[in-house]
Amino acid sequence: MSSAEKVSTRRELAELIRGADSGVVLEDCTTSDLDRMRESSTTVDKALAAGLPVYGLTRGFGPLVRYPADSELEQGRGMIAHLGTGQGPPLDPAACRLIVRLRLNSMRKGYSAVSPVFWQRLAGLWNRGFVPAIPREGTVSASGDLQPLAAAALAYTGSGEAWVRNDQGVWSTRPASLVLAELGAEPLEWPVREALAFVNGTGASLAVAILNHESVLRLARAVAVLTGRLAGLLRVNPEPYQPAIGVARGQRGQLEAAEWLRRALPPALERDEARPLQEPYSLRCAPQVLGAALDQLDSVADVLAREARGCTDNPITSDGVVLHGGNFHAMPVGFASDLTGLVLHQVAYLAERQLAVLCDPVLNGGLPPMLTPRPGRACGLAGVQLSATSFVAKIRQLGYPASLTSLPTNGWNQDHVPMALNGANSVAEAAGLAWLVVGSLAVGIAQLDAVSGGGSGTSRPWPELAALSPPLEADRPMAAEVRAAGKLLADTAAELLAREHGR
CA-CA distances (angstroms) from residue 290 to 11, 227, 242, 344, 426? 19, 10, 15, 10, 21
Beta bridge partners of 318: 321
Q: Where are the alpha helices (DSSP H) in 50-172?
A: 72-82, 93-107, 116-127, 146-156
* Angle at the Cα of 402 from the Cα atoms of 397 and 403, rounded to 5 degrees: 140
CA distance 27 to 413: 38
Using DSSP's 3-state secondary structure scheme, residue 314 falls into coil
- Long-range Cβ pairs for the range 35-39 (8 Å, 24+): 35/110, 36/108, 36/109, 36/110, 37/108, 37/110, 37/112, 37/113, 37/114, 37/115, 37/116, 37/119, 38/116, 39/110, 39/317
10 Å Cβ neighbour count for 434? 28
Question: Is residue 298 a contact partner of residue 1, using CB atoms and an 8 Å limit?
Answer: yes
Q: Where are the alpha helices (DSSP H) in 453-500?
A: 462-468, 479-500
Length of the chain: 503
CA distance 175 to 8: 40
CA-CA distances (angstroms) from residue 94 to 17, 133, 210, 273? 8, 10, 11, 50
10 Å Cβ neighbour count for 68? 10
The residues assigned a catalytic role are 55
Which of these, 193, 173, 190, 4, lies nearest to 90 by C-alpha position?
A: 173
* Amino acid (one-letter) located at 318: S
- Please provide residue 93's backbone torsions phi and psi, each rounded to the nearest 5 degrees: -55, -35
Which of the 8 DSSP states describes residue 419? -
